[in-house]
Amino acid sequence: MIEKFRRKFVAYATASVFVLLLLIFGAINIVNFTVVASDADTVTQTLADEGGKFDEPRGQPGQQQPGQLEPGSGEMGPHSPEMKMSARYFTVSVDAEGNAAVVSFKFTEQTVTPEGSIEWAKEIVGGRSTGWTRTYYRYRIYFVDNLTYVSVIDFARELTPSYRVLWSSLVGSGIGILVSFLILIPVSKIFVKPLIASDKKQKRFISDASHELKTPLTIISANNEIIEAEQGESEATRMIDKQVGRLTTMVKNLNALAHIDESGLTGKSPFDLAALCTDVVDNYRGPFKKKNIHFEVEIPAKLQFIGDEGSIRKLLSILLDNAQKYALTTAEFHLYHNGERTAIKVINDAEGIEEGSLDRVFERFYRSDVARSSGIEGSGIGLSIAKEIVAKSGGRIRAKGENGTFIIKAEL
């Protein structure tokens, strides 16, 4: 159980690191791509405002015009003159009949030809007003003089660093998760050491206590028999015998629990689970009938199973004994296939059954207030043994309340 807890701790901690990195790097990349897209839309909007082509610089080469910055003067961003001068773009107009014409073309023909730009524009027309096309190109659709204009601008220079940040984030996240996982493995072992020590002490206490209780119980029982032989049976001796029997049963259960905790199951072998269930169920038909409890049984003719037959027999006895103790009018036993697993379901009506999950009944020494006040004897160990048997068999067991009935389902 502790090893299972350690694996869960590593899994949850690694998942937390993954979520944290996802949020951090996700936010960074979303902001990054949003800013680049906003800058690209500013450029395409400027291009649309100027009729589909940027104004050509005026004057002689190298001569700065009033209010115009020289190339390389340091102004950056979508409004800079250098952006207009160095931009690679094309604008195509499309009329209502689908006829297209190139309005401006500032691409090298190694990238796209004027004819290719027309086909490209026709692919875009009819879509969103602005967006990305062919990964690195931003487009805008707008209308001038009853014509549809499509402007496409190369934004690879501005977008490439964003993709580099994205890939770096993915690689960094992967490395971060891997490193976290490798660190958490030894850290988790240190983390669960106190739990292992506490668990060992608890198991040792259960084992020692069960052994130490045997001797005084034997002496009390023997002395009680002597008193009955000398003075005759009385209410006091009957009560002593009853309580000794109750404590003896508890000690046996503690021994069984300690044995399962320390040694696990004895071994697995193939056997007919249906025949075993029939044998155990038949032993309980009499007690159910004596209490006037309607007992329904559903067991297939044959069901092969591989497991510890002795432990499964004890599991069945615990589940049926619990139903026999608390059932009011009806009880059911079902054995069937549930997908790849074999399911054992025991149902009985009872007093004070809460709706929903009742898995706390598998806790050691747990008894509900209703069970304690009912006068029915019990120690709260039986179902915890059932849970250990199922867990050691690689299965799972659940308990729930539904419409006044108590349902236990074990899947092996």
pLDDT of residue 86: 82
Name every residue whose Cβ is closer than 8 Å to that of residue 393 and which is 6 or more positions away in sequence. Answer: 265, 307, 308, 311, 312, 412
Q: Phi first, then psi: give them for residue 244, nearest 5 degrees.
A: -65, -45
Name every residue whose Cβ is closer than 8 Å to that of residue 379 and which is 6 or more positions away in sequence. Answer: 246, 249, 250, 253, 365
Does 59 score more than 50 pLDDT?
A: no
Better-scored residue on pLDDT, 39 or 82 = 39
Tell me which DSSP letter residue 308 carries.
-
Once rounded to an integer, what is the mean pLDDT over residues 221-242? 86
Does 79 score more than 80 pLDDT?
A: no
Once rounded to an integer, what is the mean pLDDT over residues 232-248? 84
Q: Which of 219-223, 248-252, 279-283 has the highest mean pLDDT?
A: 279-283
pLDDT of residue 76: 52
Name every residue whose Cβ is closer than 8 Å to that of residue 290 and which is 6 or more positions away in sequence. Answer: none
Q: Which CATH superfamily is domain 267-411 in?
A: Histidine kinase-like ATPase, C-terminal domain (3.30.565.10)
Question: What residues are paired with 330 via a beta bridge?
Answer: 294
Once rounded to an integer, what is the mean pLDDT over residues 372-387? 72
Q: Which of 25-29, 84-88, 199-203 has the highest mean pLDDT?
A: 25-29
pLDDT of residue 258: 67
Q: Strands across the sheet with 130-133, in order?
A: 100-105, 89-94, 147-154, 137-144, 130-133
Domain coordinates in residue numbering, the chain: 2-54+77-161, 267-411
Q: How confident is the model at residue 340 (pLDDT cuts 50, 70, 90)?
A: confident
Does 289 score more than 80 pLDDT?
A: yes
Contact 270, 307 (CB under 8 A): no
Buried b (16+ CB within 10 A) or exposed e, 37-55: bebbbebbebbbeeebbbe
Q: How confident is the model at residue 178 (pLDDT cuts 50, 70, 90)?
A: very high
pTM given for the model: 0.56
Once rounded to an integer, what is the mean pLDDT over residues 46-50? 90
Which two three-digit tokens encode residue 396? Answer: 């799972």
Q: Phi first, then psi: give them for residue 327, nearest 5 degrees.
A: -65, 145
Does 221 score more than 80 pLDDT?
A: yes
Q: How confident is the model at residue 69 (pLDDT cuts 50, 70, 90)?
A: very low
